[in-house]
Amino acid sequence: MRAAGSRHRKGERCRTAARRRPDPRITRSGGARAAATRACAEAAFEAGIDSFDTADVCGRGAAGEARAPSVSRSRCCGLVCGRAERDRVGCGGPGGPQRRTARKWRTYGFDPRNRVKWLCMAQSTRETERKYAAPAADDTAWLSALTRVGPVASVAEREAQKLDAVYYDTDDLRLTRTHASLRRRTGGTDAGWHLKLPLSESTREEIRAPLTSGDTPPEELRELALSRTRGAALRPVVRIRSTRALRHLLDAGGEVLAELSVDTVRADSLLDDGGRTKWTEMEVELADGVHPALLDRVEKVLRKHGVDRAQSPAKVVRALTETTPSLKRTADARAEVRRGSAGAHVVAHVRKLVDTLTDLDPAVRRDVPDAVHRMRTTSRRLRSCLRAYRSVLDREVTDPVRHELKWLGGELGAERDHEVLRERLTAGVRELPDELVLGPVTARLQFWDAAQQAEGRRRTLDALASPRYLKLLDKLRALADAPPLRAQAAGKPEKVMAKALRKEYGRLVKRMDRALGLPAGPDRDAAIHHARKAAKTLRYAAETARPALGKPARRLGKRVKAVQQVGGDQHDSVVTRDALRRLAISAHSAGEPGFTWGLLHGQEGASADARERELPEAWARARAAARHKALRR
């Protein structure tokens, strides 16, 4: 894209930028469509335009065919629907032109005052590697042995590298303690700022930002680390300099399968009471697209030659451990819970869920597919666990946490609920024959989708940026580190957890009996939704109890999940019918046919009736699972 000082006219630059955007009507992807809108905002910003028209994007022409985008000759930098649809609906979608000013660009995820942040967010890669103690300097037999590992045909030496990295963390090392790291590195082929987040034991996601002249970590990386730092200031904690001897494991065609490096490391603590240390270690990192099984085969050969895994999972962990006397270990300073007790089972599950919520935060901020849904589900699981096991954890401590988790779930729900609704409506329109789609149905649906999606995204990001969310993270970390155990936490898990499940089951029985006893209508819909929430709590409580109660808890959770899904589908249909009614009203006000909206409304009603008829059978199966003797102790 040309700079604003280019010799081209502003409008021409704007139209050129718009023509380069992919046509979201072909893919029918809401994410692509929102990305195109952000790109148009960026183009307008570079062109010096203070405001622009967001043009409607239609996926179906007058005859039902997909149309290519055309660009308005005015100062509109959006994608414009075909003339036949535009004449009917008006530029900007149903209801006429929509003006977007610079103040509104944040709604689409683009801040003209910080363009670099938006552009840098996608620079990430996954690395799968293992660290080993360095082999003896005079032992090279393991190198030749590697050429007999599966697809490895040869080992090629590469030019040595000198790497210099300064690692940043909080004063109490919150990044290191949660297995993450943030560094500023020079040298090698990937100089820059690197934020590494754990995905599994051997795999991490590395998110990169360009190297800056200053010592302050980039804003976008600090934001992605916020669930771990919880707002605490970052400072340099250790400097690690390495001399890297590099080799590539190649296949028969000369393609790189893995990178093998032997690093001579010198670490200097930047903390007040720190010292220095040095060591040598070896890393094996897979190339992109190579199956992780190759690491197992390489490790088998290395072990045969006396090369064992390194005791420390990362350089920064070893450096801090060896250079700072006050840090004997970097694991979480968590309170011990008596093994085998009910408290041990509940606390282990709570800690797992807190860690999962922490790990999902960066993915939600980067709009990774399904991340919002997973984070919302994790918050629900945690709420259910804290509710069901109030006999184990003091509710005076956990009830305020549950209240805040409910708030977080509500803020995430706006975006997630719209995702479900969009998929349901889009699928409904797509499955209709062309002759039953009367008027600009797809255009209006996509225009409505853009506004709802932007509002949901705004609520999600506002929630994650709020002081209230940071306080919740502090409470969750405190809950995981020092759980408020009650006397029953020391009891046998089979007895304590079975009693908790029976209590939640009794609550579900009352709600289901009431729902099934009501006639069809809004009251029954609300009662089914209410019962579905109780089913969800019981299901997640059964998940917590599964390690202690085994198969009976697993079966109960599975059967209750079926009840929850039937109720969920029925509720989705209720919400979808309400959205269809509102869309039909808007269409009618604009003089558009309402036939298709009414048809979809009728289909959703029939779908809800069908799911309701399945509910008694699903509930009977769940009741049978709840009668197992292991759950009646």
* CATH top-level class of 337-491: mainly alpha
Instruction: Give per-residue pLDDT as tens, 164-174.
Output: 999 999 999 99
122-323 and 337-491: same fold?
no
Confidence (pLDDT) at 121: 46
CA distances in angstroms from 242 to 60, 187, 322, 627, listed in the order given: 58, 10, 16, 62
Give the integer Cα–Cα distance in Å for 105 and 45. Answer: 10
Task: Give residue 16's pLDDT band: very low, low, confident or very high (50, 70, 90).
Answer: very low
Please compute the mean of the pLDDT values over residues 276-305 and round it to a whole number.
Answer: 92
pLDDT surpasses 90 at 22: no
**3-state SS assignment for residue 268:** strand
Return the beta strands (E) in 415-553 as ranges. Answer: none
Confidence (pLDDT) at 328: 58
Give the integer Cα–Cα distance in Å for 251 and 154. Answer: 7
Instruction: Give per-residue pLDDT as tens, 442-495.
Output: 999 988 888 888 899 999 999 999 999 999 999 999 999 999 999 999 999 999
Average confidence score pLDDT of the chain: 81
Give the integer Cα–Cα distance in Å for 209 and 218. Answer: 7
Tokens of 291: 């199956």
Confidence (pLDDT) at 376: 95
Task: Give residue 633's pLDDT band: very low, low, confident or very high (50, 70, 90).
Answer: low
Tokens of 264: 């001579």
Task: Give residue 209's pLDDT band: very low, low, confident or very high (50, 70, 90).
Answer: very high
Give the integer Cα–Cα distance in Å for 560 and 387. Answer: 17
74-83, 266-275, 600-609, 610-619: range with lowest mean pLDDT: 74-83
Q: Which of 46-60, 312-326, 546-560 has the highest mean pLDDT?
A: 546-560
216-220, 266-270, 323-327, 627-631: range with lowest mean pLDDT: 323-327
Q: Which CATH superfamily is domain 122-323 in?
A: Hypothetical Protein Pfu-838710-001 (2.40.320.10)
Beta bridge partners of 207: 124, 195
The amino acid at 342: A
Q: Is 203 left (phi over 0), alpha (psi -120 to 50) or beta?
A: beta
Q: Is 466 left (phi over 0), alpha (psi -120 to 50) or beta?
A: beta
| CA 508 to mean position of chain CA atoms | 31
**3-state SS assignment for residue 341:** coil
Tokens 């967001």, located at residue:
54
For residue 53, the tally of other CB atoms under 10 A from its CB is: 22
**3-state SS assignment for residue 45:** helix
pLDDT cut 70: percent of the chain above it: 79
Q: Is 521 left (phi over 0), alpha (psi -120 to 50) or beta?
A: left
Q: DSSP secondary structure string, 106-165? A: GGGT--TT-HHHHHHTT-EEEEEEEEEEPPPTT--HHHHHHTTSTT--EEEEEEEEEEEE
Confidence (pLDDT) at 333: 66
Domain ranges of the chain: 10-113, 122-323, 337-491, 492-633
Please compute the mean of the pLDDT values over residues 422-430 and round it to a whole number.
Answer: 91
